[in-house]
Amino acid sequence: PRVIPPDTCNAIIYKSEQIRYRLMDDTIDSGDPSNYDQQTQEVYIYHNERVIEPTLYELIEPHLPTLTDAIKRRRERVWGSEFADGASFTDPTYEWIFLRKYYPLG
């Protein structure tokens, strides 16, 4: 099932393109900090209990309960994985919502 409808996704993309993305090193997917060979662009929407980009948050916020339910349903499939270590799948919360664009490697 879709968590966010396509028309809302398109609105998020459109609105995010009007906001200045920050140029960042890829700190999440690259692993070793000495090997940050991929640049990304990020927009923080929500971080540390604060809305950073209200326009984008207003688009996403109505869909957060559906996303929470999807996480709860996946609990059984990911319970033993490294991503589930210490995570709460019975009452998930969120601390950080962001958009990220990757530059092509080359």
Contacts of 87 (CB under 8 A, 6+ apart): none
And the tokens for 50?
A: 């604060």
More confident residue, 9 or 73: 9
Whole-number pLDDT of residue 106: 47
Q: Is the dihedral of CA 16, 20, 22, 23 positive or negative?
A: positive
Predicted confidence (pLDDT) per residue in 56-100, tens digit: 999 999 999 888 888 777 765 655 554 555 555 566 678 888 888
Q: Please give the mean pLDDT across all residues of the chain.
A: 76
